[in-house]
A and B are shown apart, each in its own frame.
Chain A
């Protein structure tokens, strides 16, 4: 049970540093395990005062900082079910954010929302008449002190099968699925994942990942705190403006562990200035795990080349395949050895969906292993009808473990679709070789841009909202951006006008609309004439064929 672990850390190592909170332009703030517990109980008290009961969902919309940490653990200690959601940034259209949040509230039915005065209007804007939300708690109104009393709080009385938190998947915000995880699932995951990375009490984890994403929430927040180790936590907004902060923090606090999405390897390798690395020593960094985007050997190479001179160990580079539906990790490559690289025949991979050893002289692809399944997780590669496939055949990845989701919260339809016969069907493609998993694309056409997932159908729906673009006459897909180590989203839209100025205006409107109404920034709006888009015989848009046509045209 999670509250019992917090209690144990509070009693056994109250003075040990739990979190070093970093904020650009401010002094670092160290929170001990005692500070963490005391701060959390202020929120437990606030939930009690607002009559938010154990088992009620509490949605947290807060910026990086101590309040987010306390509000989360306060809910855990009180037995409420916390769910961290992103706040409105300047990029997104406020109407869209409120509509998406309102949709989420109507499905999830939270009893309370916690936010700060700066986001209060956005949060209240998502709460309609008759809403489940009984209280909007503001950080400015939380009691300054509260008694540390584990027995009186509701958390210890929860049972292991009960839901401890919701982790909302990315994708269409309005239809986001809340992955419901039990105490037991979280603890089973942590036991297996800690063993896979050989976590030690003296490990120091450095993270800039957002806490509304599974990699940030589980690997970069729950695991260190529930394992009683030290977490150095910076804001994703600070990191993206100053990626060098990651390296300075690892050096300053002798960081040993980090998790990064693939694009971050390229981003850091390209954008960190020499002078910001003066005196930096990365020799303590023992495990840097590439996770949540397709892993690229080139990205590891660029990262290593850039930072080797500062003591980065090559053996620190690792990979993992993870998802919220398994709490977090599914596979992991071991500490102290490099992920296996598998060179395969390019044509067979693209056209036959097989990962075959290359023939001499023919073009190849290098695939990086995501590692072996955690000890508590079984993997299968299956064909369309669910038959298990042999090594080197590409199929859907299915998994079974003792740390699977309880279900999608209030979404029995979605749960039934994903969980069949005790197996979770991931929607990702991959192949196995000697027990190692190689991930090879997404079944559902999902586009991953800088760690953010978007579905082409959602981008196309946004395109149809632009005057001049008719329904059924746009296609969205991702194209690989090798320099950035991630994908770029492309929308091709047919229009009736031939006037270059009008076309440019439509392109501009399309870029702006998609950027303000989705998680990503659209750069490639390709305006074409009627009948450009290829359709299948049944009239459906063929994304792969249109992507090939686009690439051939713009090459």
Chain B
């Protein structure tokens, strides 16, 4: 886990899953597994934007674009790039 994935994991566990102690590994499936439901994707997008200063378009909020913390980190890095 990196600082970015740690930050994302803490946010998802606390605010989306409402289980602050829930561990999420860097490779755990987030969207295709139903862990993050569609109503929460917009929250995740807003969090990424305010925390990392990059915009994720709503057409990118799907399992094809990212389905794990490490994939989401890669999307964030590419946008920062």
Contact = CB atoms under 8 A, between A and B. Distances in A.
B17 A516 contact: no
B64 to A, nearest CB: 10
B34 A241 contact: no
Interface string B15-29: 001100000000000
A90 B34 contact: yes
A521 B58 contact: no
B17 A241 contact: no
Contacts of B59: 24-25, 241
A243 interface: yes
A240 B40 CA distance: 9
A242 B42 contact: yes
Interface string A448-466: 0010000000000000000
B37 interface: yes
B41 interface: yes
A401 B62 CA distance: 44
A267 B17 CA distance: 17
B75 interface: no
B43 to A, nearest CB: 7
A400 interface: no
Interface residues of A, number: 22
A238 B43 contact: no
B63 interface: yes
B8 to A, nearest CB: 18
Contact of B32 (A90, A240, A242, A524): A90
A241 B46 contact: no
A91 B39 contact: no
Interface of A: 24-25, 90-92, 237-238, 240-243, 245, 267, 271, 273, 450, 512, 515-516, 521, 523-524
Given A91-B38, A242-B58, A515-B37, 19 more contacts: A24-B58, A92-B34, A237-B38, A240-B38, A240-B41, A241-B42, A241-B45, A241-B58, A241-B59, A245-B58, A267-B39, A271-B46, A273-B46, A450-B39, A515-B34, A521-B34, A521-B37, A521-B39, A523-B18
23 contacts: A24-B58, A24-B59, A90-B63, A91-B34, A91-B37, A91-B38, A92-B34, A238-B58, A240-B38, A240-B39, A241-B45, A241-B58, A241-B61, A241-B62, A242-B58, A243-B42, A267-B39, A271-B42, A271-B43, A512-B33, A515-B34, A515-B37, A524-B18
